[in-house]
């Protein structure tokens, strides 16, 4: 045996050295190398390897999005945000219909690389799943009972390799003192991937029927529900405690025309955008971690974008208080210079840098959303998109 072969064998036999080599490989390669041997599979799937392979769990590789007009069995579009990966590459697209027996799939939320989805099939009623688009793994949740109001994923790999799902369901009871009147209550249940079961959390509570339990955002170790017309609530997942979240005050003289246009989390920051009237100027609010209130983080003026893409300055035919653009996502960088908005303007997806105000086109989305006559409807073209952050992760579901 040659000295070279002996050295190679020594390296191959050293798990620590092999792990140091594998940890530097792209996720796509790691997915292939898992099938090399049981030993390599074991190395790649250990919690320590996964934590080291994902040193920055907030690094957003791209966005999956689709129009709400095609919410059932939608055509997912992927937009890479950090590099030049081809969005049609199979490694960077997901086919949610691979869930066994599923006729239609919809995404409810994404959290640090995991997706919470729902599906329908002939054999069963609506089912819920946790999916990792990177590994193509999924786990089906135990069946839920009750009138579901919202389902939100809570996962932070810096805290735990396990995730939780927070469910809110509603009950209506007839008042004993007023038999012709009823009262609505909400109940929270929590699913833990560690135990594999649901359990009730706390007592039933009352809340504004308009509360947006369908759009909970995980931030600050809590599910945060934003209500545009009443009291907004949050639920601390660790303490299992409900709290009230304030909404930004209305600026002087702007008592009408308030439009909430974006609500989401990035790199441990919760953001809210409201726009008054058909304008390209707005502010991005950020919530204090103690929920004491919102402060202005960014001042934005998309006038230059409007000059380059004049269709976005048109008012929506069905809502004259809005210009024809939508905010799909706000992505925070490690430094403020790297923070940007992902915008949808008529037929285009753009990236707008919040520091230097530069912008560039990411993708043309016009042809995908035409009707049978080749006409792009306002509600699809400008506004109603669901976007979900995609973070590459090897965490198991």
**What CATH number is given to the structural domain containing 289?**
2.120.10
In a domain, 26, yes or no: no
Instruction: Output the CA angle 66-64-49, nearest 5 degrees.
Output: 160
**What pLDDT does 227 receive?**
85
What span, in angstroms and rounded, lies between the C-alpha atoms of 324 and 388? 21
Distances (CA, A) of 174 to 19, 178, 187: 61, 8, 17
277: left (phi over 0), alpha (psi -120 to 50) or beta: left
State which residues of the chain have pLDDT below 70: 1-15, 21, 24, 48, 51, 53-55, 57, 67-75, 83-103, 122-124, 172-183, 209-211, 253-257, 317-319, 366-385
In a domain, 220, yes or no: yes
Q: For residue 266, what are the domain limits?
A: 54-390
Phi and psi at residue 209, in whole multiples of 5°? Answer: -65, -20
Number of domains in the chain: 1
Structural tokens at position 321: 């208080």
Give the residue from 323, 161, 210, 160 showing the smallest Cα distance to 257.
323
In a domain, 273, yes or no: yes
**What pLDDT does 164 receive?**
97
What span, in angstroms and rounded, lies between the C-alpha atoms of 352 and 209? 36
Structural tokens at position 394: 């090897």
CA-CA-CA-CA dihedral for 319, 320, 322, 324, to nearest 10: 90
Query: b/e per residue, 128-147, with b = 16+ CB within 10 A?
Result: bbbbbbbbeebebbeebeee
**What pLDDT does 392 receive?**
84
What span, in angstroms and rounded, lies between the C-alpha atoms of 84 and 360? 13
Q: How many CB atoms lie within 10 A of CB 184?
A: 14
Which alpha helices (H) appear in the chain, and where do they start and end? 3-12, 15-22, 27-33, 38-44, 47-53, 303-308, 378
In a domain, 63, yes or no: yes
- Residue-wise DSSP of 23-90: TTS-HHHHHHHTTT-HHHHHHHTSHHHHHHH-S-TT---EEEEEEGGG-SS---EEEESSS---TT-G
In a domain, 13, yes or no: no
Give the residue from 275, 295, 153, 330 showing the smallest Cα distance to 224.
153
pLDDT (tens digit per residue) in 109-130: 999 999 998 887 765 678 899 9
In a domain, 324, yes or no: yes
In a domain, 73, yes or no: yes
In a domain, 368, yes or no: yes
What span, in angstroms and rounded, lies between the C-alpha atoms of 79 and 83? 10
């Amino acid at each position: 045996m040659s000295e070279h072969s002996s050295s190679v064998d020594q390296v191959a036999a050293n798990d620590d050295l092999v792990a140091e080599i594998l940890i530097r490989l792209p996720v796509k390669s790691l997915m292939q190398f898992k099938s090399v041997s049981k030993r390599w599979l074991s190395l790649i799937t250990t919690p320590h390897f996964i934590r080291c392979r994902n040193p920055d769990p907030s690094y957003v590789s791209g966005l999956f999005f689709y129009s709400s007009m095609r919410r059932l069995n939608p055509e997912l579009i992927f937009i890479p945000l950090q590099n030049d990966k081809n969005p049609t590459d199979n490694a960077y697209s997901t086919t949610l219909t691979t869930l066994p027996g599923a006729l239609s799939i919809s995404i409810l939320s994404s959290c640090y690389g995991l997706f919470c989805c729902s599906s329908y099939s002939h054999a069963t009623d609506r089912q819920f799943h946790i999916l990792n688009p990177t590994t193509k793994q999924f786990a089906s949740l135990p069946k839920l009972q009750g009138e579901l109001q919202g389902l939100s994923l809570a996962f932070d790999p810096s805290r735990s390799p396990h995730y939780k799902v927070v469910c809110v369901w509603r009950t209506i009871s007839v008042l004993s003192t007023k038999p012709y009147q009823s009262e609505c209550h909400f109940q929270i249940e929590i699913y833990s991937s560690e135990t594999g079961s649901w359990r009730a959390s706390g007592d039933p509570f009352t809340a504004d029927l308009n509360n947006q339990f369908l759009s909970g955002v995980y931030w600050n170790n809590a599910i945060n529900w934003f209500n545009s017309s009443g009291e907004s609530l949050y639920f601390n997942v660790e303490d299992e405690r409900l709290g009230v979240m304030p909404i930004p005050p209305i600026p002087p003289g702007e008592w009408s025309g308030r439009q909430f246009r974006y609500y989401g989390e990035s790199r441990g920051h919760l953001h809210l955008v409201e726009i008054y009237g058909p304008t390209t100027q707005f502010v991005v609010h950020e919530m204090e971690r103690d929920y004491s209130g919102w402060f202005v983080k960014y001042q934005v003026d998309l006038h230059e974008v409007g000059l380059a893409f004049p269709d976005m300055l048109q008012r929506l035919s069905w809502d004259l208080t809005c210009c024809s653009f939508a905010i799909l996502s706000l992505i925070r960088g490690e430094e403020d210079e790297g923070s940007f908005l992902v915008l949808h303007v008529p037929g285009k997806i753009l990236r707008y840098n919040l520091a230097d105000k530069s912008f560039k086109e990411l993708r043309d989305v016009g042809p995908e959303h035409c009707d049978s006559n080749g006409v792009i409807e306002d509600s699809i073209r400008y506004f109603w998109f669901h976007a979900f952050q995609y973070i590459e992760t090897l965490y198991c579901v």
